[in-house]
Structure 1
Amino acid sequence: MQLRHIANRAQETRVASGHSSPLPLTSLSSLPAAPPPAPAPIPPLLGPDPRLILPSIGEVVYEWDIGTDRLTWGPNLFETFGEVAQGEFGMGYAYGERVSRESVATRYGAVMQSAETDAGQGVPFQVVYGLTRPRELGPGPVVWVEDTGRWFAGDDGRPAHAHGVVRIVTERHEAERKLALGAQIDPLTGVLNRAQLAEQLARFLAASERSRKPFAALLVAVENLFALNRTYGYDAGDDVIAGLARRLRENIRACDAIGRYAGNKFAILLENCGTEEMQAASQRLIDTVGLTAFETSAGPIPAMIRVGGVIGPREGRDPQVLFQHAEEALDVARQGAGKRFVAYTASLAREDARLRALQVADSIVSALTERRVELAFQPIVHARSGAIAFHEALLRVRLPDGTAASPGALLPVAEKAGLVCLLDQRVMELALERLVAEPELRVSVNCALHTVLDPEWPDRLAAAVAANPGVADRLIVEITETAMIEDFDTTRALIAACKRLGVKVAMDDFGAGHTSFRNLRDLAFDIVKIDGAFIRNIATSEDDRFFVRTLIDLASHLSLKVVAEWVEDEATAQILRDWGVEYLQGAHFGSAAARPAGAALR
């Protein structure tokens, strides 16, 4: 094949795959037995020397004759890949043997197993995989590459030859792997997060259906965590939670699973476990935890746990149902001085839980009717100047005696009772009233999952904005990652509706573990708010620093403004400033108050 034709083919491949920059090339050669000699001078008409350009950006072109299985590489192969390119590298089968076992895809699979048909222009492909050096050189690091190319069919319609560009992406791959790992693990405790717990429980259910053997799901809660936090401080409370995670993990089997369910609650899944085994295992955990105090920053602190358990799939064939039943059992275990472990039965806690939920739902309805739903405003400041950029409007419900109810206790019931949309609507009304009253104010408002998925909500927002001229460009709607995963298309439509009104949109809890890079890119967010659970320890945790820095770089690449939540000290604030975060939010800059602090600046 002529040299210029190969170069043009490589350029076509990059254009078809979104890589539009020119790809200078002077020659292709069959793989030599040893590193090639110095190439001949580059003809001026082909521009800069590719021997300098391609290695500098970690790229090498190739041609693959599928009929003969021969791979022909560009002259910068050894310069680019080093020892990975040593040994047999000129045949497709040999190249395939060098693909790392960690890879989930290969060039062979992308080409030979393609469902596409070549209509004469070739079929583009792009795949990422790892390459290892020859076995005789011993173990070495995996070099991760992105293979972008195009295959062409022969007379029989099957792939006959392919060409493309292989680019080193090891650094990017490691960053994405770390990000994916962080999306599965709770940063404080090092155990699975809630999303991964649900996936694990689904796997346990599927395995149990096949084996016909039961399993147990336990919910474990620290007793009197509020009192611990009040007495010893929140840092010591976190130390107890982290220590409990370690102790629980050390006392379960390798086949079992543990994750952080919420706050001070952990979920444990016990494989091949019936009622009697569940009770014995729970009592052993209770005794083990209570035996020794936890080492904390405030000194040794004793702590006890309570446990609720359920047997699957007997008491539920759905993860949500099983967790709900385990919560009901735990609620009974936490009442009074009764048993520390309670196993779920169909009638155990249902009536009690139903009555308590009805009481909370009634209090929410009363608060809405009697205008006892209020807002508190927490400032969000410019990272560089410290001047207030905008405020987040936070829900507060005033009880008849004048005290404030905890949103954490109300919102789960409001969601189950279908009242959360009414609360969100009232919060939006109050926020718009304040925006009208204070022309310099800018406010962000949270929207719950049920509100985001309500098909009538965009129309209500449009009507509210139209009734209050001049507020749209000072309003920010916050949507959680959970809403995106629940219904991507509805979320995208809602964002588009907000944009048409001139309302900005922020993604809340960024990094909590759901959003893919592609989804984030495809949705027109203006702002991302990094989940505070990752922020609060960056001054002391190298892993959290790496994870947060990766999130910031990703947001910057997509031209998104970043808010860092839960900034509680100047050391954390300075790290975030140095990394280019635009906005900071947290106790270090002010707590939530009934009135916005100062005049918000644009």
Structure 2
Amino acid sequence: MATKRPGRAGIFRGAPRTPRQRHGEIASPASHSGAAYSWDILSDALVWCPNAAALLGLPARDLPRTGKAFSHLVEPESGPDRRAAMAAGTGADGSFETRYALRLAPDRVLMVEETGRWQPDDQGRPAFVRGLLRADAGQTCLPVRIQARSGLLAQIQNGINEALRISQTCTLIVGGLEGDGADALDVIARKLRPMMRRQDHFGALSPSRFTLTLTGCPAAEAPGAMRRVAGLLKDCSGDLTLAAACAPDHTFKAAKLLRFAEQALESAHPGSQPCVLYDSRTALRAARSKNASFDVVAALNDRRLTLACRPMVDAYGRTPVLMQAAAAVAGPGGRTTTLGSIPALEEGNLSLLVDGRMLELAADYLADHPHQRLALPVAPATLKDGEWLPTLAAHLGARPGIESRLVIEVPEIALGADGALLGRLHAMKAIGIGLSLSGFGLGHVPPSSLRHMPFDMLKVDGVFIQPLKRSTEDRLFVRALVDRAQNLGLAVAAEWVDDEATARLLLAWGVDYLEGALFGEPEALPQPQSLRTMLKRARG
């Protein structure tokens, strides 16, 4: 267990530390077999760490740059993909993990394991994902297996969501093939493959009952789709019956859609009435409004954007030393939701407007709370904007003394995309603020370059922290990152620390600060009294 290091005045201050004596070789970040990524769901932009091409065995120019392009590589029925795993909601904090196959070439299939975490928009839906892919080259696609009902429902819900996203209809077909000599499910799946598109899914409810989720199949075409299924399976052994229900015509929920289709299947009879479409008297088409996206401009104009903070604690004493801030939006009923990523910020200087608003609130909070420290993340586009430095200087000048308690958090990917930002980092440092590098370990910044950057702290990306308990590779990789930070004389923090075992492991390696669900969830900061009064008058 690491002991408290003497002489570390302040949160980031202290002399460079001597690297520990190693017993056995520690894997370097370059040798890590995982590929980290970030995915803005609403803009669909997918950003990879530099070693992704080597991991997937693709030229860098051929890496999928959107979530849609990546989904085209997923082999149907090989396992729940990213969207399905997120919809399953395996982690209350937005974490997920799954395993599926990628079809990288007609004759090359690669099984991958994926772990990650999504962050919500103001309506609680996934908006931004950060995750990690690992390859298992020794495995190929899995045969069709009978799924747990919860997993199958997640798969169906994913199809419904995708259909709604493109303003289409999702048709769920449930089939039963009864008889002593009925064909196996993998045979049925293979015969149905010609009518399946990339977003369609085949599922197994039981040895004699299957589901076929057709994204983009209107209700009017559902009887024709069932007839085509019957035609493809005409040579199968056993008595075939089929039934279908449609979303959103019948419901928006996977559980109800499956129940409706199974109810219709009960009225189907081989020979006389083998295909039945569920009949609903009410349609819920008005619920399409759920598909509306978050309006950033409206939230800015209504002053609904606010700060939400969670504590960053000292790894040794577990005392809060810093408040980690994030943009949040006030929703109906006083509910506040943190925003992992706001779509379309690259257009119209929206990132500067949002970050400027967050800076204003952070400065007011620090001025009203002289014993608090606060870390404020800033978007890459904001750092490049010529108005950012004057805006920062103006807010700090209007509130003297808060600069030493403000930490600006810079994403590693921003430096990887634009090396010219180094001068702006030094300019911000000269104002007197602290600087933190988030996303440490993703590989966008060469290790040698860190020596010339004015950072006080390096924050290890959460995609490497989340699987520490079960992944030897990640333990070696994170320990190497900690060693590197210590060799540079910088404080090191870790995010997504959600359990005591991970916290103790990181402490033993010498991590200085911890952040995650173990120490508290984000809470909205109260608005300044003057702002509340102004808003009250405006509404009155």
TM-score, length-normalised on structure 2?
0.56
- The counterpart of 2:472, out of the listed 542, 566, 571, is 542
- Aligned pairs for 1:40-59 (under 5 A) are none
Alignment match, 1:365: 297
Alignment match, 1:332: 166
Cα distance in 2 for residues equivalent to 1:573 and 1:261: 19
Q: What do the CA deviations read for 1:552-597 (whole angstroms, capped 9, x no partner)?
A: 000000001011111111111111111111111111111111249x
C-alpha deviation, 1:182, in angstroms: 4.6
- The counterpart of 2:370, out of the listed 423, 434, 439, is 439
- Aligned pairs for 1:107-118 (under 5 A) are none
1:341 to 2:200 alignment: no
- Aligned pairs for 1:232-381 (under 5 A) are 233=91, 238=96, 241-243=97-99, 245=100, 247-248=101-102, 253-254=107-108, 291-293=145-147, 304=155, 331-332=165-166, 336-337=170-171, 341=197, 360=293, 363-381=295-313
Q: What do the CA deviations read for 1:162-190 (whole angstroms, capped 9, x no partner)?
A: xxxxxxx9977x733x5443563679xxx
- The counterpart of 2:27, out of the listed 175, 183, 201, is 175
C-alpha deviation, 1:337, in angstroms: 4.0
2:424 alignment partner AA: L
C-alpha deviation, 1:413, in angstroms: 2.8
1:569 to 2:499 alignment: yes
- The counterpart of 1:218, out of the listed 72, 90, 93, is 72
Cα distance in 2 for residues equivalent to 1:306 and 1:509: 31
Q: What do the CA deviations read for 1:452-473 (whole angstroms, capped 9, x no partner)?
A: 1112211211111111101000
Cα distance in 1 for residues equivalent to 2:70 and 2:520: 44
Does the aligned pair in 2 maintain the 1:382–1:582 contact within 8 Å? yes
Cα distance in 1 for residues equivalent to 2:523 and 2:62: 48
What SS does structure 1 have at the residue aligned with 2:396?
helix
Cα distance in 2 for residues equivalent to 1:262 and 1:464: 36
What SS does structure 2 have at the residue aligned with 1:544?
helix
1:534 alignment partner AA: F
Cα distance in 2 for residues equivalent to 1:300 and 1:396: 31
Does the aligned pair in 2 maintain the 1:332–1:342 contact within 8 Å? no
C-alpha deviation, 1:226, in angstroms: 5.1
In structure 2, stretches of 5+ residues that fail to align are 1-21, 39-45, 64-68, 75-80, 119-128, 134-140, 173-194, 200-215, 217-287, 527-540
Q: How large is the RMSD of aligned CA atoms in angstroms?
A: 4.7
1:228 to 2:88 alignment: yes
In structure 1, stretches of 5+ residues that fail to align are 1-168, 208-214, 269-284, 309-326, 349-354, 597-602
C-alpha deviation, 1:389, in angstroms: 0.5
Cα distance in 2 for residues equivalent to 1:463 and 1:502: 13
Cα distance in 2 for residues equivalent to 1:556 and 1:508: 16
Q: What do the CA deviations read for 1:419-438 (whole angstroms, capped 9, x no partner)?
A: 12211110111000000000
1:459 alignment partner AA: P
1:456 to 2:387 alignment: yes
- The counterpart of 1:194, out of the listed 24, 45, 48, is 48
Does the aligned pair in 1 maintain the 2:322–2:374 contact within 8 Å? yes
**Shift in alpha-carbon separation, 1:452–1:226, aligned structure 2, 3 A:** same
1:500 to 2:430 alignment: yes
**Shift in alpha-carbon separation, 1:420–1:198, aligned structure 2, 3 A:** farther
Q: What do the CA deviations read for 1:338-362 (whole angstroms, capped 9, x no partner)?
A: 897369xxxx9xxxxxx9999646x
1:407 alignment partner AA: L
Q: What do the CA deviations read for 1:281-322 (whole angstroms, capped 9, x no partner)?
A: xxxx9xx78744379xxx9877537999xxxxxxxxxxxxxx
C-alpha deviation, 1:515, in angstroms: 2.0
**Shift in alpha-carbon separation, 1:413–1:534, aligned structure 2, 3 A:** same
Does the aligned pair in 2 maintain the 1:261–1:267 contact within 8 Å? yes
Alignment match, 1:475: 406
Cα distance in 2 for residues equivalent to 1:451 and 1:549: 32
What SS does structure 1 have at the residue aligned with 2:410?
strand
What SS does structure 2 have at the residue aligned with 1:465?
helix
Alignment match, 2:315: 383
**Shift in alpha-carbon separation, 1:370–1:331, aligned structure 2, 3 A:** closer
What SS does structure 1 have at the residue aligned with 2:32?
helix
Does the aligned pair in 1 maintain the 2:73–2:102 contact within 8 Å? no
What SS does structure 2 have at the residue aligned with 1:591?
coil
Cα distance in 1 for residues equivalent to 2:495 and 2:445: 18
C-alpha deviation, 1:380, in angstroms: 0.6
C-alpha deviation, 1:476, in angstroms: 0.2
C-alpha deviation, 1:418, in angstroms: 3.8
What SS does structure 2 have at the residue aligned with 1:494?
helix
C-alpha deviation, 1:263, in angstroms: 5.8
TM-score, length-normalised on structure 1?
0.50
Alignment match, 2:59: 203
2:430 alignment partner AA: R
**Shift in alpha-carbon separation, 1:470–1:514, aligned structure 2, 3 A:** same
Cα distance in 2 for residues equivalent to 1:543 and 1:523: 28
1:570 alignment partner AA: E
C-alpha deviation, 1:219, in angstroms: 6.0
**Shift in alpha-carbon separation, 1:382–1:306, aligned structure 2, 3 A:** same
What SS does structure 2 have at the residue aligned with 1:515?
coil
Does the aligned pair in 2 maintain the 1:193–1:259 contact within 8 Å? no
Structure (1/2) with the larger helix percentage: 1
C-alpha deviation, 1:383, in angstroms: 1.0
Bigger radius of gyration, 1 or 2? Answer: 1
Identity %: 31
What SS does structure 2 have at the residue aligned with 1:514?
coil
Alignment match, 2:175: none
Does the aligned pair in 1 maintain the 2:366–2:372 contact within 8 Å? yes
Equivalent residues, number: 359
Does the aligned pair in 2 maintain the 1:367–1:399 contact within 8 Å? no
Alignment match, 2:253: none
Does the aligned pair in 1 maintain the 2:438–2:458 contact within 8 Å? yes
Does the aligned pair in 1 maintain the 2:87–2:157 contact within 8 Å? no
- The counterpart of 1:523, out of the listed 453, 456, 459, is 453
**Shift in alpha-carbon separation, 1:369–1:546, aligned structure 2, 3 A:** same
Cα distance in 2 for residues equivalent to 1:447 and 1:557: 26
Does the aligned pair in 1 maintain the 2:389–2:428 contact within 8 Å? yes
Cα distance in 1 for residues equivalent to 2:197 and 2:474: 35
Does the aligned pair in 1 maintain the 2:440–2:459 contact within 8 Å? yes
Cα distance in 2 for residues equivalent to 1:340 and 1:401: 43
**Shift in alpha-carbon separation, 1:202–1:443, aligned structure 2, 3 A:** same
- Aligned pairs for 1:28-177 (under 5 A) are 175-176=27-28
Cα distance in 2 for residues equivalent to 1:453 and 1:476: 18
Alignment match, 1:485: 416
Does the aligned pair in 2 maintain the 1:179–1:547 contact within 8 Å? no
What SS does structure 2 have at the residue aligned with 1:392?
strand
C-alpha deviation, 1:250, in angstroms: 10
Does the aligned pair in 2 maintain the 1:306–1:334 contact within 8 Å? no
